[in-house]
Amino acid sequence: MSTSTSFALCADDFALSPAVTAGILEALAAGRLTATSAMTTQANWPDAAKAFRALAPRADLGLHFNLTLGAPLGKMRSFAPNDAFPAMNAIVPAAWRSALPRGEILDELRRQLDAFEDAYGAPPDYVDGHQHVQVLPGIADDLIAELLARGHAGRIWLRDSADRPRRIFARGKHWGKALTVAALARGFRAKARAAGFALNDGFSGFSDFDAKGDYAADFATFLRAPGARHLIMCHPGHVDAELARLDPVTDSRETELAFLLSDRFTEILDSAGAKLAPLSAM
C-alpha cells in the first residue's frame, strides 16, 4: 500500500455464537475493525445487536446472508427439507444450472433482512454473504431486486467478493480460493452498480484457517495491491460449544483475534502505510 492508504476490515460471522460475538466486540471496542457482518439466523443475534448498539463503535454493521450454516428462519421445503441448510458444494452447481428454488431463497432473504431490522432497529449498512453466497447466479439477482424494492439503493453498499487476477497474484498466497470466488462472482459487480449500489473495490482475506499458522504474515499479504476501496475480511472470535457444534473453523478465530489486538497488527499497518476506515466513509 502507498502512504496513508485507507482500507476497511470486516469481521464475518457476528452472532454466530456468544463467544464469537464477544471476541468481535472486543476487537470493535479496541478500534481494530471497521465492519462486522451479522448472521440473523442465529439465536445469539438479538443480544448481539443490542451489544453492538450499546458499544456504538465507528463501524458498519451488515447482514451476513446465510444459506449454508445451521437452520433457516422459516420453512424451505425444497432447499432445506430437514430444516438444515445444504453445503456450499451443493449450492454452487445448482446455481449455475439455474436449478435453485429461488422463491424459497428470496423468502428466506426477506426473513433475514426483517430479523436484522427487528433486532437492530435500522437497515444494515451493507449486505454480504456467508461463504459468498450473495454473488451466486440467481441469488445475486434476487438480492439486488429485493434491496431495490426496499429503497436501499444509494444507501447501503454490497460486498464484491471478487478481485482482479493481477491483484490476487500480487499477494502471493491463497490465490486458488480467491480466483474461485472471483469466477463465481462474475457479473455481480456490474449488476449491482447498474442498480445504484456502491461496492468495495479490492478484496482480500482468504486463508486456510490454520490456528498454528503465521496469521500476521498472511495479513501483511492482504494489504498488497489494494483497490481504491479495499476490503479485507477476517474471522476473529472466541470458541464455545455452540461454535464447535456449528462450524469447523474454531481455534483459528482465537489466533486472528489475538493478532488484531496485538501491537504486531499496528506495526504491520504502519509498515504498509495503511489506515483503517469504514467503507461507508471511503
Which residues of the chain are under the pLDDT cut of 70?
1-4
Q: What's residue 105's pLDDT?
A: 98
- Could you tell me the domains of the chain? 5-281 (3.20.20.370)
Q: What's residue 13's pLDDT?
A: 98
Residue 86 and residue 13 in contact, taking contact as beta carbons nearer than 8 Å? no
Q: What's residue 4's pLDDT?
A: 64
Question: What length is written for the chain?
Answer: 282
